[in-house]
A and B are shown apart, each in its own frame.
Chain A
Amino acid sequence: MQLSINNLSKTYSNGVEALKNVSLTIKTGMFGLLGPNGAGKSTLMRILATLQEPDTGIAVFNDINILKEKDKLRKTLGYLPQEFGVYPKINAETLLNHVAVLKGINKRGERKELVKALLNKTNLYEQRKKNLGGYSGGMKQRFGIAQALIANPKLIIVDEPTAGLDPAERNRFLNLLSELGDHAVVILSTHIVEDVKELCTDMAVINKGELLLQGNPLDAIESIQGRVWKKIIDKTTLSEYKTNFNVVSEKLIAGKPIIHILSDTNPGDGFESVTPDLEDVYFAQIFGSAELAIT
């Protein structure tokens, strides 16, 4: 199974270039699409989910032309939108059953079994009779994944599913997702580096509509091995460091800024070498000036 995206571009009427000539090839498994808020991730996700038209470019899933054969794609699509709602006065079982019919599952018995299984899988069975309006953020998100999985989809798109979940809910949710990659192309869009690190075998970074990097997360980390240095500094000297070094990230640890910089050689000056992680790769792409080459 393969999803090929070729030269997708989309510019909104207010002049925002959401996507600039994005090309990607995505194979079976979990694919992480990483980018800051406003990078163009959701636009790309909506285009792939048949809900929006790009200005130019093509997207093909197996032999389905996504932009032309929308009905055909929808039969094999599972989509969890970034910001989705539910009918507040309806319970989970009813809405899931409704979506199941709309997705083409006509036999009542089969539908009932499937809805039950999905509610169990997403740990919502106990609350199946509760109105969706009363669901917490995490429960709603799990309901979202339940509806996305109904039609045994081969292309699963989840758009920022973990934003706003508490750590326990997030773990539960990631566990749910992790099973899906075996038999489908799963695209996980997120701005949370950890999500990608924990789940994805392949990833891409986009920012301001441009594809900055695509590859295996481990390879990406490998590519900056030995080039990331850290130092705990004083708040007042921060801007000084920013002008002198290629600072990719700054964090506070116990109130003190700790900066990571990218440098091919030892910068001295009290910097220590660190083992890079995916976050360094990500920030190096978004904020660093160094170009990373991943083969």
Chain B
Amino acid sequence: MLETIKFELQYRLKRPATYIYFALLFALAMFMVTTDVVQVSIGSGKVAPNAMFTLTFFHLVFVALGMLIISAVMGVPIVRDFEHNTSSIIFTTSTKKWQYLSGRFIGSFIVVLFIFLGPILGMLFGQLSPWAEKEHFVAVNLMNYIYPYLQGIPALFILGSIFFMGGALSRKITYVYVIGVLMIVLYLGVDSFTSDIENKKLASLFDPFGLNAFFYETQYWTTAEKNSLPPPTGGIVAFYRMVWLPIACLCLFISYFFFNFNVVRDSKWKKKKAVVNKVSNQSAPMQLPQASFSFGFGNQLKSIQNMTSIYFKTS
């Protein structure tokens, strides 16, 4: 397992994507705290931009927005072996299924943890920089940055596990992204039901990002509280974790249970009739039928239509 983790990390550390994701989040976060371009109003009045509350809020938003990054990192470690066709080689080694899966998962998750240092460090550097608006700042405290990062980890783990399962079981990256889209739909769908209090409470549980839970617990906080208190861990936030962390573990368990080293999967659904080709050694000389050619606009339209349908059938 350790070897697989090591390999996964080595592999990722050589990939530019890892650093691009990190840099992207870092830059966005820094941009956000140092300019007025992004105006996010959280509560009325003078909540400090560098209060734990604010930083946690932004970090959780980055996690939710960064869901695509999470899916790209956590969805691929198993898919990779099928895409590059290395599965046969890896699966015939002595590595066990749990070693393989857990190694790839943990390795990828470490990479996710690294990438999502991006927003925190971005905000930290942004706020320390001389051109940051330091109005309403509370005293700079490193804990104000570490704590929000820790608060983001459960959501990263939850989302990561779900994407990992999607990739491991479908063996296709397309399905990973479909899951991503479904999560957004779930979040937005739930969000539109949050008009009254009871629904809000319930909505927090249907939101895999944990954003609603955070909002719910902090909705009546005063500015003073927001500037001084650490983000909530009890109440609905705890409830959210109690619901979603087991779901994440279940996803990992399901991945383990249903994944197997068979490289050929015989579909139980598609029972297509095989076309029986008659093999023969006959090489009868055959006259190819004559066809007429046209390379005009009509043919170009036809080509577009054909490309569309081929692409549709193959993806």
Binding site for B on A (CB under 8 A): 12-16, 36, 38, 43, 46, 49-53, 70-71, 74-75, 77, 79, 81, 83-90, 94, 98-99, 101-104, 144, 147, 151, 208, 235, 238-239, 242, 247, 249-250, 283, 286-287
Contacts and interface: CB of A to CB of B under 8 A. Distances in A.
A94 B272 contact: no
Interface in B253-279: 261-264, 266-268, 270-274, 277, 279
B308 interface: no
Contacts of A14: 270-274
A103 B218 CA distance: 53
The 5 A-B pairs of least Cβ separation, nearest first, read A85-B85, A102-B93, A81-B88, A101-B3, A85-B84
A292 B219 CA distance: 86
B92 A77 contact: yes
B264 A52 contact: yes
Q: Select the residue from B7, B15, B80, B284 with max chain A CB neighbours within 10 A.
A: B7
A88 B89 contact: no
B281 A287 contact: yes
A89 B283 contact: no
A12 B7 CA distance: 35
B92 to A, nearest CB: 5
Contacts of B96: 71
B44 interface: no
B92 A51 contact: yes
B165 to A, nearest CB: 22
B30 to A, nearest CB: 29
Given A15-B274, A102-B95, A84 B88 contact: yes
A87 B86 contact: yes
A51 B88 CA distance: 7
B283 A79 contact: no
Interface residues of B, number: 41
A135 to B, nearest CB: 13
Given A14-B273, A52-B262, A242-B282, A99 B94 contact: no
Given A151-B94, A239-B284, A51 B263 contact: yes
B10 interface: yes
B270 A74 contact: no
25 contacts: A13-B270, A14-B271, A14-B272, A14-B273, A15-B274, A38-B277, A49-B92, A50-B92, A50-B261, A51-B262, A74-B93, A74-B94, A79-B88, A81-B85, A83-B85, A85-B83, A85-B85, A87-B80, A87-B84, A99-B89, A102-B95, A103-B93, A144-B89, A208-B279, A235-B285
B11 interface: yes
Interface of B: 3-4, 7, 10-11, 14-15, 80, 83-86, 88-96, 261-264, 266-268, 270-274, 277, 279-285
A242 B282 CA distance: 9
Contact of B263 (A52, A242, A250, A283): A52
A250 B266 CA distance: 37
Contacts of B277: 38
Given A51-B91, A52-B262, A71-B94, A36 B86 contact: no
B10 A94 contact: yes
A287 B280 CA distance: 7
Nearest to B285: A235
B98 to A, nearest CB: 12
Contacts of B10: 94
B3 A87 contact: no
Q: Select the residue from A46, A50, A51, A86 with max chain B CB neighbours within 10 A.
A: A51
B281 to A, nearest CB: 5
Contacts of A70: 261
Contacts of A85: 83-86
A86 B84 contact: yes
A164 to B, nearest CB: 15
Contact of B88 (A49, A53, A103, A250): A49
B279 A90 contact: no
B89 A79 contact: yes
Nearest to B84: A85
A101 B80 CA distance: 19
A96 to B, nearest CB: 11
Contacts of B263: 46, 51-52
B3 A102 contact: yes
A12 B94 contact: no
Nearest to A99: B93
Nearest to B4: A102
A13 B94 contact: no
Nearest to B99: A102
Contact of A46 (B3, B7, B80, B264): B264
Nearest to B269: A13
Nearest to B273: A15
A74 B92 contact: yes
Contacts of A90: 11, 14
A50 B72 CA distance: 30
